[in-house]
Amino acid sequence: MRCPSPTTTSTNPLAPLLAGLGVLLAGCAFGQELPEPPYVDPGPPGGPPADAVTLVDRFAPTLDPWRPDTTAGWKLDGKVLKAPAQGADLVTKQAFGDVQLHVEFRVTEEGQSLPRIKLLGTLAIPVIDGGSTVQPGNTDSAPPGDAVVLFDGTSLDGWTRIDGRPARWDVVKGILRCKPGTGNIITKERFRDVQLHVEFATPYMPQAKGQGRGNSGVYLQGRYEIQVLDSYQNKTYFDGQCGAIYHEYPPLVNVCRPPLQWQSYDIVFYAARCDANGKVTVYPRATVLHNGVVIHDNVEIHGPTGGHLDEKMCEPGPLMLQDHGNTVQFRNIWLRHLTGKGRVSQAPRSVGEWQSYDIVFRAPRLGQDGTVQRRARVTVFHNGVLLAHAVEIGPGKGAKVDRPAEGPVILPAGNVEYRNVWIRPIASPPK
């Protein structure tokens, strides 16, 4: 699905209607519409979402998901699964292909290295060795040591209106709230490639419908809108709902929380690549997690979306938050610049502290003869810090592999404890 971006400005109250008309006129709505993304309850922060297979249940874990011949020495203690210091790695009964995997663990002895989770039974994750270390935040959503904090709850000093005058949104009790009619706001900070964290809550507007209910937007570089909308039991067009890259991609799933509840976007954005003449040679790419659930996996964005600040795709740009006439609230906004940064191989916590991996994995695509047509690909966060984005791993293109493109998940033994481990198959991104 690729639809041209509408040229209407989204500050116009008729924008959704005009945008819809624009799409119709462009012939985009006929034959190319995708089905409404299914609703999936994201569960509490840290999951599991409702469509996940729990491997270590967060309340009452069992050894049932695991192959009995691998469980010797593994012990359940309340909500924790303890690995044997020496012993066999734990292997799932079920095989998986394209998945999102969440693992919480803690190292219990000094000197124990971080566990390497295996996917397809062989591919060890995380994948990057020898890089630098980043200090993670106190929680996975708190700003890591190398983050630029864009809104910390105290002031709008880092923001302006789009014409440069002071921003006029309200800052109340640590929260940034859209003041309808005062216009979009942008950061003074400009960026190219980033990891970005934003939290938002939509207002309770039961009388409003569709695009009129809790509308705002998170514009990457001021150009590409990740839609903010109350899409909890509120139908709208498929590529205009919460989490959509507006009029370009619907989210893979709808994981909205109800209005007034805090939600999160964790976004990895790689800006357009351009030649010396300022012509785009590689489109921007984005991966987005909404409430911890992947809704876009390394999708290509083909141009600025409606209501954009400018079309200078080769230039750095600010973060822009949309005034669409609704009192959407924001908090805890930060980014990490990825451009020019050395490789980050870990963001560890201390012995005894709980840590997490969030992994988005695409199995290799194999031809009929068993050769790799497209390599496996992985995105990894460690304690909320991006380690790898869509990195290719495993056998190279053309290599003959003697196993299927599905396989078990393996938790390594060692001085390690696990809790709240879940996995969910993910759909292919739209083409």
From residue 30 to residue 49, what is the string marking binding to Mg ion with x (rule CB under 5 A)? --------------------
| Smaller CB separation from Mg ion, 119 or 244 | 244
SS3 content of the chain, % helix, strand, coil (to 5): 5, 35, 60
Decide: is 292 part of the binding site for Mg ion (CB under 5 A).
Answer: no
Tell me: does residue 16 bind Mg ion (CB under 5 A): no
**Residue type for position 270:** Y
In angstroms, what is the minimal distance from the CB of 143 to Mg ion? 25
Q: Which is nearer to Mg ion, 231 or 379 (CB)?
A: 231
Return the residue matching tokens 């966060």. Answer: 381
Considering beta carbons, is residue 326 or 355 the nearer one to Mg ion?
326
Q: Is 210 in the site for Mg ion (CB under 5 A)?
A: no
Question: Could you tell me which stretch among 169-177, 224-232, 258-266, 340-348 binds Mg ion (CB under 5 A)?
Answer: 224-232
- Phi, psi at 142, each rounded to 5°: -80, 155
Query: In terms of CB distance, is 13 or 370 closer to Mg ion?
Result: 13
158/173 Cα distance (integer angstroms) = 18
Question: What phi and psi values does residue 199 have, to the nearest 5 degrees?
Answer: -115, 145
The type of residue at 288 is V
Minimum distance from residue 54 beta carbon to Mg ion (Å)? 34
What is the separation, in whole angstroms, between the first and last Cα of the chain?
Answer: 6
Number of C-beta neighbours around residue 391 at 10 A:
16
Span of 118-126, 132-140, 207-215, 341-349 interacting with Mg ion by CB under 5 A = 207-215
Is residue 217 close enough to count as binding Mg ion by CB under 5 A?
yes
Residue number with CB closer to Mg ion (215 or 379): 215
Count of Cβ atoms closer than 10 Å to residue 2 Cβ: 13
Region near Mg ion per CB under 5 A, out of 11-19, 85-93, 124-132, 214-222: 214-222
Distances (CA, A) of 127 to 41, 100, 130, 381: 30, 16, 10, 11
Q: Residue 202 or 383: which CB sits closer to Mg ion?
A: 202
Residue 412 in tokens: 């390594």
In the region spanning residues 307 to 336, those forming contacts with Mg ion, defined by CB under 5 A, are 322, 324
Minimal CB distance residue for Mg ion = 217
Residue 199 to residue 82: CA distance in whole angstroms: 34
Contacts with Mg ion by CB under 5 A lie at: 215, 217, 227, 322, 324
